[in-house]
Amino acid sequence: MYNRVWTKGRLYRLLFAIEEWSKKRVFGCHSCGQCVLRSTSMVCPQTCPKQMRNGPCGGSMFGKCEVFPDKECIWTKINERADNPAVDGTLGMKDKLFNKIQPAVDWSLVGTSAVANIFSKKIDPNGAIQSPHPVPKKVLNDLIASDRIVEHFDPS
Amino acid sequence: MNDTSTLYKKLQSGEFAITAELSPPKAPDLSRLDKHIENYKVGVDAVNILDMPSATLRMSSLGTAIYVKQQGLEPVLQMTCRDRSKLAQQADIIAAYAHGIRNVLCLTGDYVTFGDHPMSKPVFDMDSTNLIMMVNQLRSAGRAYSGTPIADSAKEEPFKMQWCIGGAANPAGNKPHHLARTINRKAEAGVDFLQTQPIFDLEAFDQWWTALDKQGVHDKVKILPGILPPRSLRGLSFMVEHVPGIWVPPKVISRIENASDQKEEGIQMCLEIMQTIKQKYPIAGFHLYPLAWTETVPRMLKDLNLFPAADNAA
């Protein structure tokens, strides 16, 4: 796949290299450009073979991964950490885990810097993309009721 | 033309619904399904058309679902995220709707390494929750993933497809309150009913049900527990080893192993599980996994008095 970072300037590439290298070392970052670590107990959901962003798949059994049974399911890690009061207190995880559905990966941001994307308002600090994407049932119904639906889905 | 499915109406009115599974053939010969379709014609409300189960090559679920619909059964189109991008998913969903299919089951899909094409690219452009959210948007707003209206010109009103949205749940294998979080997210995304993996362990099911109760999921979603009648010990062991996400407790395996007639014992065990679940929990129906053993379905439904009264007398 074409890596978008080669369309950027030298300074961007240098800063991105530092960000990518450090995040890869610590979290196994896959450079999706929409970092949701803060909402997922600091476990990167892109390290899941199926890139599950909203809970484990049906094949995760007894905390183990479906694809690599000797590996721990990343969603077991995320949920266990969220249950831990110390982690939960620091990150305010429980609300995010319970109430928020992560949108699917926006592939136009893959291979770019998540930090730069926060500054350019392509994602918010929790990693939620600002490009159009479906929203949960209740939010959608409210938008339809308030007639804001066109405005919401307008990519500009 | 733009009407909802019979399954949806049944679930909404609180009637007991029965769904079952049908695996498409690998060879391009749809007449092979006819005997299974005959077995399903009475008593089964809708039939899931599998989308390459265990990532093994089969005819597409859309093509098979159209045939099943023509034969007079209501299909539930399975859509997995394994092989399709956002664009391809929506293209198939629109095509299915145009052919009169009204039920869609949103799944993430088994990983490619389980099947006969481990060298294929796993797409996973989104997960099942996002797929549910996308279909819900097509239904309530008539807008595609990107927000563009489902219409061929700017003057036209967006077309709102009346989908009945399904999802899957696994009641065993992980901590019940962790599983409940995932189910809660699916409920918020807009799912109408959930079919579970085959249930063999009633204790695990009870814990899972209690965890869902705590989250208040039951008010939002209808649940259809999965039932799989094991045909033999060999079949059961194969499934435990090769199909992801199925939990069979050792006492069930030994029960089938020690039975003189393994087929009959398998059916009896399933009938017991179904009776217990039906009495104890306010479920919306059952989802049957007879695999290729579809002749058991009419028999099981008769034994449970779930067969339509008129056909029961005959």
Map out the domains of chain B with their CATH numbers.
Answer: 6-313 (3.20.20.220)
Report whether A33 contacts A113 (CB < 8 A): yes
Given CB atoms, is B161 within the 8 Å cutoff of chain A?
A: no
Indicate whether A131 belongs to any domain: no
Which 13-42 residues of chain A touch chain B by CB within 8 A? none
Rg (CA), chain A: 17
Q: Give the C-alpha separation, B292 to B286, whole Å.
A: 18
The encoded tokens of residue A68 equal 């690599």
Between B109, B127, B141, which is nearest A149 by CB? B141
Residues of chain A with pLDDT under 50: 155-156
Task: Please give the residue range of the domain that contains residue A83.
Answer: 37-101
Given CB atoms, is A101 within the 8 Å cutoff of chain B?
A: yes
Given CB atoms, is B54 within the 8 Å cutoff of chain A?
A: no
Contact partners, residue B198, CB within 8 Å, separation at least 6: B226, B227, B228, B246, B289
Interchain proximity B178–A75, CB inside 8 Å: yes
- For B127, the closest chain A residue by CA position comes to A52
Q: Report the candidate in A128, A122, A149 with the shortest Cα–Cα distance to residue B144.
A: A149
Distance from CA of A140 to the nearest CA of B (A): 7
Between B86, B147, B182, which is nearest A155 by CB? B147
Interchain proximity A76–B174, CB inside 8 Å: yes
- pLDDT value at position B129? 95
- Residue with token string 């085959």: B198
Interface test with A, best of B113, B136, B185 (most A CBs within 10 A): B185
pLDDT in tens, chain B (314 residues): 568 889 999 999 999 999 999 999 999 999 999 999 999 998 899 999 999 998 999 999 999 999 999 999 999 999 999 999 999 999 999 999 999 999 999 999 999 999 999 999 999 999 999 999 999 999 999 999 998 999 999 889 999 999 999 999 999 888 999 999 899 999 999 999 999 999 999 999 999 999 999 988 888 899 999 999 998 899 899 888 888 888 899 999 999 999 899 899 999 999 999 999 999 999 999 999 998 888 999 889 888 877 775 555 44
Given CB atoms, is A105 within the 8 Å cutoff of chain B?
A: yes
Neighbours of B3 (CB within 10 A): 10
- pLDDT value at position B310? 53
Q: How far is CA A74 from CA A54, A60, A71, in A?
A: 11, 9, 9
Interchain proximity A105–B145, CB inside 8 Å: no
Given CB atoms, is B136 within the 8 Å cutoff of chain A?
A: yes
The encoded tokens of residue B59 equal 């005819």
Indicate whether A26 belongs to any domain: no
Number of domains within chain A: 1
Contact partners, residue B191, CB within 8 Å, separation at least 6: B106, B132, B165, B166, B167, B221
The DSSP result for B194-259, as a single string, is EEEEEP--HHHHHHHHHHHHHHTGGGT-EEEEEE-----HHHHHHHHHHSTT----HHHHHHHHH-
- Residues composing chain B: 314
Indicate whether A155 belongs to any domain: no
- For B220, the closest chain A residue by CA position comes to A137
- pLDDT value at position B292? 85
Interchain proximity A67–B124, CB inside 8 Å: no
- pLDDT value at position B278? 93
Indicate whether A121 belongs to any domain: no
- pLDDT value at position A150? 67
Interface test with A, best of B93, B113, B130, B215 (most A CBs within 10 A): B130
Given CB atoms, is B147 within the 8 Å cutoff of chain A?
A: yes
Given CB atoms, is B86 within the 8 Å cutoff of chain A?
A: yes
Interface test with A, best of B105, B114, B127 (most A CBs within 10 A): B127
Q: Which helix (H) or strand (E) holds A13?
A: helix A10-27
- pLDDT value at position A127? 82
